[in-house]
Amino acid sequence: MKALLVWPKFDSFSFWNFEKVCELAGVKYMTPPLGLLTVAALLPADWELRVVDENVRPLDDGDLDWAEIVLVGSKIVHRQRALDVVRAARARGLPVVVGGPDPTLSSHFYLDAGANFLCLDEGEVTVPMLLADLARGATSGVYRADRLPDLSESPVPRFDLVDHKDYLYVGVQYSRGCPYHCEFCNVIDLFKNKYRTKSLPQLLAELDLLYALGYRGQLDFFDDNLVGQMRSVKVFLRGLIEWSDAHGHPFQFSTSVTLNVAKDPELLALLREARFKYLLVGIETPDEAALRSAQKPQNTGFSIAEATNEIYTKAGCTIHSGFLLGMDGESPDVGDDIVRCIDEACVPWVMAGVVYPLPGTRLSKRLDREGRLFPAARFDVAEGARDQISAGIQFRTERPAKDVLRDLVRVMHHAYDAENYFERCAKVAARLDTVPTLIPGLRVFARNVRTFARLCVEMTRSRETRGPFWRALFHVATRNLAGVEALATLSVLYVHFQSMLPYCYEKLAEQEAALEAEGEAAWLARKLREPDERRGASRLPVVVAAGAAAVG
């Protein structure tokens, strides 16, 4: 069987697509599609496999002519392009399998587009169901997992099917799920609050393969929360450190953690020794009432500024964090509080937005029950928006909508003002107790030198960034040379932010202008009105029963 595995192109103009960063680094895309490579490893050994990542090269007629079956992975940000791929393959009479987070939570879109097989939930359970049906000659089916797989069933991803030189970094996975219950996060809907991990030998086998393939550089743990079990992750980190020491530290790491990691000095020391460099930490808001309303109490009861300082000085990691507005229970002064928190906690990279009711989340379902969810947000990112940030408000907020929008714009302007941004970067990099990883490999070293030279030209060319960047670089170079690596990375990211911010401000201004012109009551009434084609329809997508089910 000739199987074509397609990862659809991510809309090139989105806050979540770091196209400008890739241009500076001289690579084609950020990272290979880990989920699709894992599915590839679950397919029969005698199948011929071809992976097309449309972010690296376009899908062409030759690929479809070659294929006997097409497998398409999709997240919500890929949906429209994924549906186009499904239709193109079906037009040629090819059987199509779809899977991934978006089909799992919004399967009807893919059925409507003509997909033959929906392989939903986690592939370790549902791919064997698909293969058994294909062996019996089935022409269609929907497969839902009746259990959560033990990650010992997860194979080593087929990293050999892509060229790592096309990518800025590579992703691996140690755990799935999260033990917390944040209502705006779809992780608990996909993984049912069941936190599972791979064994140390499993993960090291993946590192062995990447090492043998010649990959050097950054590895990102695509875990939703690497430290979901703090005791067991320490054992894992010690094994990772031992492997890295034995192989000359070919990789440096990044991942997502919860802010309460700062309470554990031993864990912070292990993250530093293992060469973790960047942590995505969901701070969300300094407003503890809003955090409790969103069922995120793990961020309460301690100083955010002290916690981030512990991470900088004990783990040697920089922090990227999201801040959310529009949460139930937040105070009228939350905009001022977030600005103050960003500065006091010295968070360089800020992703600010109105809390978005992702389809399938507890937040989305609660708002729908309460009659507060905009119908357009049930199934997709808002019309005309490229991401959740530019989408603005998608439900009736407790606070006046115009106040929420104005606070968001103010927070973004403060966070991304060049003087403010590079001042925070300099403060962080100057106190960062990190272990430099300058030459993980000659190719990566050459790429980094080239990227830094391009960065300096880019920063100097812009009147906005020229002074702030060079002052920050001088400050860090004269106080903590080891922090220059982090400063350079954060400065490269600013190039991406510069390219996206005008669009985001434009979309938010359009929403604010509509609010002003119509009045909030009329604007909300229009946004909450059911579209004609959906009136009388089920308010939520139909869920297919557990197990394998034939579709007519």
How far apart CA 543 and CA 147 sit, in angstroms, is 16
DSSP state of 146: S
User: Is pLDDT at 535 greater than 60 in this prediction?
Assistant: no
Name which of 24-28, 191-195, 427-431, 534-538 the model is least confident about.
534-538
How far apart CA 475 and CA 454 sit, in angstroms, is 20
Single out the residue of 164, 136, 168, 143 nearest to residue 18, CA to CA.
168
DSSP per residue over 307-320, as a string?
A: HHHHIIIII--EEE
The CATH homologous superfamily for domain 152-362 is Aldolase class I (3.20.20.70)
Name which of 89-93, 175-179, 451-455 the model is least confident about.
175-179
Listed by start position, the domains of the chain span 2-146, 152-362
Question: Can you read off the two tokens belonging to residue 413?
Answer: 């302007």
User: Is pLDDT at 549 greater than 60 in this prediction?
Assistant: no
Find the mean pLDDT for residues 427-434.
95
If you compute the radius of gyration of the chain from its CA atoms, what whole number of angstroms results?
23
Phi-psi region of 355 (alpha: psi -120 to 50; beta: other; left: phi over 0): beta
Q: What is the mean pLDDT of the chain?
A: 90
Q: Is the CATH number 3.30.110 carried by domain 2-146?
A: no
How far apart CA 512 and CA 393 sit, in angstroms, is 10
- Which of the two residues, 544 and 431, has the higher pLDDT score? 431
Run of H or E including 69: strand 69-73
Confidence at 545, pLDDT banded by 50, 70, 90: very low
Asked whether the beta carbons of 117 and 130 are under 8 A apart, the reply is yes
Find the mean pLDDT for residues 71-89.
93
How far apart CA 542 and CA 13 sit, in angstroms, is 32
Question: Can you read off the two tokens belonging to residue 170?
Answer: 């590579």
Q: What does the pLDDT read at residue 230?
A: 87
Q: What does the pLDDT read at residue 536?
A: 38
Long-range CB pairs of 392-397, under 8 A, 24+ apart, other chains included:
392/354, 392/507, 392/508, 392/511, 393/326, 393/354, 393/511, 394/354, 394/356, 394/357, 395/326, 395/357, 395/367, 396/367, 396/372, 396/524, 396/528, 397/326, 397/354
What are the φ/ψ torsions at residue 144 (nearest 5 degrees)?
A: -120, 140
Within 72-136, residue ranges assigned H as helices are 79-91, 101-105, 108-112, 123-135
Q: What does the pLDDT read at residue 313?
A: 96
Confidence at 206, pLDDT banded by 50, 70, 90: very high
E strands in 250-294? 251-257, 276-284
Q: Residues, the chain, total?
A: 552
How far apart CA 239 and CA 234 sit, in angstroms, is 9
Give the tens place of pLDDT for each residue, 37-77. Answer: 999 999 999 999 999 999 999 999 999 999 999 999 998 88
Q: What does the pLDDT read at residue 547?
A: 35
Give the tens place of pLDDT for each residue, 98-122. Answer: 999 889 888 999 999 999 999 999 9
- Taken in order 156, 42, 147, 538, is the CA torsion positive or negative? positive
Percent of the chain scoring above 90 in pLDDT: 75
Q: Which pTM was predicted?
A: 0.89
Residue type, 136: R
Give the tens place of pLDDT for each residue, 161-174. Answer: 999 999 999 999 99
Asked whether the beta carbons of 508 and 405 are under 8 A apart, the reply is yes
